Structure 1
Amino acid sequence: MAEPSDPRVAVYIDFDNIVISRYDQLHGDQRFHRDKARNFSPARSKSEVATKLHDATIDVGAIIDFASSFGSIVISRAYADWSVPVNAGYQKQLIERAVDLTQLFPTTAGIKNGADIRLSVDVVEDLFRLPDLTHVVIVAGDSDYIALAQKSKRLGRYVVGIGVAGGTSRSLAAACDEFADYDALPGIKPRKNPTAPRPTVADEQKEKPAATKKKTPDASAKADADAPADPQRAATDLLVRALRLGHAKDDEDWLHNSAVKTQMKRMDPSFQESALGFKSFSEFVKSRADVAELDESNQTRLVRLKPGVNLP
């Protein structure tokens, strides 16, 4: 159970917006619509578009982890038409992170599903219904959310925006108390050339698609992915993610032991060091000496990522 003083966070994801923005960021402006990528699923197709979708996969876990660094997540919703193949492929990833899937059907013959209106109405309703909400995290880059961000701030909430570089309105970023670039989130692998301009149609015509063919995962790789995770390995990964997030947020070399444990519990409420065979959290950290260092020279125990650790 969260402490009464613990900040309470609500996360709202315009899923179509973030998926399309990421795809266009990597493959060219308006490429998502030209490729009709919404009709493809990387897991069920070996086409070129499916490969491009795989390359542009959104890491939902990194988004939720970042949001949890502000406090306990009490609401997390993603808005999209989940019957569309490209979105359906994310359902397992979202459900595993306890994200509610809000179904939106297209309201016109096009692809517009009204996510901005439905999301905005839900946010305002939640702010009045739950006066103890302290943070609102909006995952989108659409300028339609400027009024929502401003309204949330007027109601006394701290507004955090998350968007994809090149697909985010500067006015939306300015309307938030804090705005994070998806590529800069802890856990997101940097692009090969993040300073390069977004590809254009002319650039794409110069490329030879045949030279970019990739191998698809074999059955054994899929079986490994479906296998139950080793609890000890999962706990180590969780510790690294929490430390990485803490260092990125606070820009501190050493973090409080208790704060790291709290962050781990936010990201995975099932974490218990006792279930892994340790009497205390400090003992658990000591057992991970290959990735973390513990300073017990003072009454307040401090922990940090071991220098030189290659982060996943």
Structure 2
Amino acid sequence: MRPSASEPVPSVALYWDFENLHASLCEARQEGAYSKQDNRFRVQEPLIDIQAVVDLAASFGPIAINRAYCNWQYFSRYRDALLQSGVELIQMFPPGGSAKNGADIKLCLDAVEDMGRFAHIGTLIIVSGDSDFMPLSQKVKAAGRTLMGVGTRQNTNRHWAKSCHEFRYYDNLVQDPDVPGTPPAQSLQSDAAKDIFRRATRLLAANQGDAWVSQSALWQMIKRLDSTFDPKEHGFANFMAMLQDFESLVEVRQDASELMVRLR
């Protein structure tokens, strides 16, 4: 439910496990390109599209916290992009040459503290594919806040992705929308989309006792069934485009305030 005009829009807190995302992009280019110790401890080539992630966060509300955790001595080439996006940099010093920098622990502690201090934060976005953040998801849900994760498809732990209210693959955020997939791949993707669409519609109709369900409620049900679901992965620009393509599957009617859908 969206807040009324008189109600303040809940804020967004964006937390970056920066090295995790950067390392994932390095490894996607070439296996072992980052994990070797001699590669980690050198100045890194900028690979992350920071603005794409910030734009995603801004679409959920005003960004109140935009904080990135990393050993910044090796990531100086990101300087301009980070400054332009207003990212607060948290310096992490690893305790040893081969040790983790502890960014995930510090990030979790800060996120829990921020939820306690700032009631206006409605959505927390964690940029990482690391399963270490699963306990944080339980805390966020218990606090009644919304949790979104962002990570690369190849290196995101599936249990972490499923533990979020919603998960977006970084790959899709920076993908060129004008480049279509191959027809066979799109056909298989469309079948998968139809399957979850049917399940969500049937469940929602059964819960409501009415075959007609609202478009917004249907979308929320789909995301509860699969937090990683994204219409773009199935060949559609957005949820409305997917709905229009399923005209053989559903009937659609316009009510006074919302689009209503039912299975044929």
TM-score (norm 1): 0.54
Show the counterpart of 1:20: 23
Conserved 8 A contact 1:15-1:78: yes
Cα separation, 1, equivalents of 2:82 and 2:238: 27
Show the counterpart of 2:77: 89
Q: What does 1:255-294 correspond to in 2, within 5 Å?
A: none
Show the counterpart of 1:99: 87
Which consecutive unaligned segments of at least 5 residues does structure 1 have? Answer: 43-52, 196-247, 254-312
State the number of aligned residues.
Answer: 183
Show the counterpart of 2:51: 61
- Equivalent of residue 39 in structure 2, options 37, 40, 47: 37
Mapped pair 1:128 → 2:97: no
Distance of aligned partners of 1:123 and 1:17 in 2 relative to their CA distance in 1, 3 Å threshold: same
Show the counterpart of 1:175: 163
Cα separation, 1, equivalents of 2:126 and 2:109: 13
SS in 2 for 1:161: strand
> Deviation digits for residues 272-300 of structure 1, max 9, x if unmatched?
xxxxxxxxxxxxxxxxxxxxxxxxxxxxx
TM-score (norm 2): 0.63
Show the counterpart of 1:143: 131
> Deviation digits for residues 224-246 of structure 1, max 9, x if unmatched?
xxxxxxxxxxxxxxxxxxxxxxx
Offset, 1:71: 0.7
Which consecutive unaligned segments of at least 5 residues does structure 2 have? Answer: 183-235, 242-264
Mapped pair 1:113 → 2:101: yes
Mapped pair 1:8 → 2:21: no
Cα separation, 1, equivalents of 2:83 and 2:170: 20
Cα separation, 1, equivalents of 2:238 and 2:58: 14
What root-mean-square deviation, in Å, do the aligned CA atoms of Structure 1 and Structure 2 show? 2.7
Cα separation, 2, equivalents of 1:188 and 1:100: 26
Offset, 1:111: 4.2
Q: What does 1:130-209 correspond to in 2, within 5 Å?
A: 130-185=118-173, 187-189=174-176
Conserved 8 A contact 2:129-2:156: yes
> Deviation digits for residues 209-259 of structure 1, max 9, x if unmatched?
xxxxxxxxxxxxxxxxxxxxxxxxxxxxxxxxxxxxxxx996347xxxxxx
Q: Which amino acid aligns with 1:141?
A: G
Cα separation, 1, equivalents of 2:122 and 2:76: 31
SS in 2 for 1:89: helix
Cα separation, 2, equivalents of 1:19 and 1:189: 20
Offset, 1:64: 0.5
Cα separation, 1, equivalents of 2:104 and 2:176: 28
